[in-house]
């Protein structure tokens, strides 16, 4: 899960998808990173922590890190929260960029519409609740889609 600062959007996506995967019995390792590195070493934004906690998810122990080209060696699927993030990922990964592994996060719910998860960073708490709902719904779709594919492939 990749956004710009790795303190608002992608920590929520990491926390929510990891929680859903565990509850669905899926042995997935979900991680997150940011392309700008401005907040490296910091915990998530206090409003992301607050909104996640209100929904029963603890993201307070996450630590922001910068996205690196080595993430393409470590992970099978890499979700970009927005198109500007995708552009940054291309620049950072250089020759290691693997388009087969990359998806725009909301393409899982709205294929081909190139929708971005809005960045709540500059706004009030309301934006964090809205972003939580958007990310939560999309994570449900990721899990559902995986289960459907899994059933198809295992028949």
Active site residues: 3, 9, 119
Q: Give the footprint of ligand 4NP on residues 34-53 (CB under 6 A).
A: 34, 36, 38
**Using an 8 Å Cβ cutoff, are 107 and 78 in contact?**
no
The H-or-E segment that residue 103 falls in is strand 102-104
- Of residues 38 and 110, the one with the C-beta less far from ligand 4NP: 38
Q: CB of residue 135 vs ligand 4NP: minimum separation in angstroms? A: 10
Q: Using CB under 6 A, which of 9, 47, 51, 72 touches ligand 4NP?
A: 9
14 binds ligand 4NP (CB under 6 A): no
- Of residues 122 and 153, the one with the C-beta less far from ligand 4NP: 122
62 binds ligand 4NP (CB under 6 A): no
CA dihedral 52, 54, 55, 60 (to 10 degrees): 30
Between CA 147 and CA 124 the distance in angstroms is 36
Between CA 134 and CA 137 the distance in angstroms is 5
| Residue least distant from ligand 4NP (Cβ) | 5
4 binds ligand 4NP (CB under 6 A): yes
110 binds ligand 4NP (CB under 6 A): no
6 binds ligand 4NP (CB under 6 A): yes
Phi and psi at 67, nearest 5°, equal: -65, 140
| Three-class SS state of 80 | strand
Task: Give every CB contact of residue 83 below 8 A, 6+ residues apart in sequence.
Answer: 104, 114, 116
15 binds ligand 4NP (CB under 6 A): no
* Contact footprint for ligand 4NP (CB under 6 A): 3-9, 34, 36, 38, 119, 121
């Amino acid at each position: 899960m990749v956004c710009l600062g790795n303190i608002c959007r992608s920590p929520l996506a990491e926390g929510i998808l990891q929680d859903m995967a565990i509850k669905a019995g899926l042995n997935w390792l979900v991680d997150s990173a940011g392309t700008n590195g401005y907040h490296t070493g910091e915990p998530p934004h206090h409003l992301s922590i607050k909104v996640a906690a209100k929904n029963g998810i603890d993201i307070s122990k996450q630590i922001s890190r910068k996205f690196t080209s080595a993430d393409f060696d470590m992970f099978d699927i890499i979700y970009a929260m927005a198109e500007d993030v995708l552009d940054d990922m291309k620049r950072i990964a250089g020759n290691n960029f693997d388009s087969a592994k990359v998806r725009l996060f909301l393409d899982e719910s709205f294929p081909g519409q190139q929708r971005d998860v809005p960045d709540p960073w500059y706004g009030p708490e309301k934006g964090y609740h809205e972003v939580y709902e958007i990310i939560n719904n999309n994570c449900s779709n990721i899990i559902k889609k995986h289960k459907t594919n899994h059933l198809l492939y295992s028949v």
